[in-house]
Amino acid sequence: MNNKWLAISYKLQSEPSKNRVYVWRKIKEMGAAYLQQGVALLPYTEEFLQELQKLHREITEMGGEASVTNLSFINEEDEKRIIDEFNRLRNEEYEEIAEQCERLIYELDRETQKGKFTFTEIEENEQELDKIHKWMDKVSARDYFEASGKVNTENMIEQATKRLHEYSEEVYQRDALKDHEGKI
């Protein structure tokens, strides 16, 4: 293994809590894994180095303390454990996305059973599918070690997309039939 890593360690006062939440969110958005409280790791890239240096300045401006370091693991098992943690975090996110796809499919099935075939439903569900795609893009971008849950989630997105297409076709067919009957 022997990857290069970046670490940010920081301390912030407990109040105002918005500062701690802000830093935590920034670190989570980058896809970091916490080694322990107040110490987060990311794979080494120039982009992450710049992001962490910027966050370092922000923490200092908030009255906290921070340091950004470059590190590598001596023990491969320690590094493997960290990579496993990165993958666990991504798999949790992938699972949430897959669940959202299941809810979308369920919603479309329910509307079909009710006979509710409207353009409004298509628009609503297209927006939901767009959100799912954007969410997937974010999670995939921070999937640095190819977590196993990605493939299943991609399949669920395909199923949701296919189901929405089928529903849209049904709405179109019914709408066209109404138009045709109205002209007779």
Q: What is the CATH number of the domain that holds 25?
A: 3.30.70.240
Same domain as 64, residue 13: yes
Same domain as 169, residue 97: yes
Which secondary-structure segment (H or E) carries 47?
A: helix 46-61
Same domain as 68, residue 90: no
Whole-model pTM: value is 0.88
Q: Does some domain include residue 77?
A: no
Buried b (16+ CB within 10 A) or exposed e, 119-134: eebbeebeebbeebee
Instruction: Give the number of other CB atoms < 10 A from CB of residue 97.
Output: 25
Crossing angle between the packed helical segments 46-61 and 17-30, to the nearest 10 degrees: 180
- Per-residue pLDDT at 183: 58
The tens-digit pLDDT sequence of the chain (184 residues) is 678 999 999 999 989 999 999 999 999 999 999 999 999 999 999 999 999 999 999 999 999 999 999 999 999 999 999 999 999 999 999 999 999 999 999 999 999 999 989 999 999 999 999 999 999 999 999 999 999 999 999 999 999 999 999 999 999 888 776 665 655 5
- Per-residue pLDDT at 81: 95
Q: Does some domain include residue 109?
A: yes
* Domain boundary pick from 47, 72, 97: 72
Q: Does some domain include residue 153?
A: yes
Domain boundaries, position 46:
5-72
Peptide bond into 43 cis (omega under 30): no
CA distance 53 to 47: 10
- Per-residue pLDDT at 175: 73
* Domain boundary pick from 22, 39, 72: 72
Same domain as 177, residue 88: yes
Same domain as 150, residue 97: yes
Same domain as 54, residue 110: no
Same domain as 89, residue 161: yes
Same domain as 160, residue 94: yes
Same domain as 179, residue 92: yes
Same domain as 160, residue 88: yes
Q: Does some domain include residue 116?
A: yes
* Domain boundary pick from 72, 103, 129: 72
Q: Does some domain include residue 98?
A: yes
- Per-residue pLDDT at 135: 98
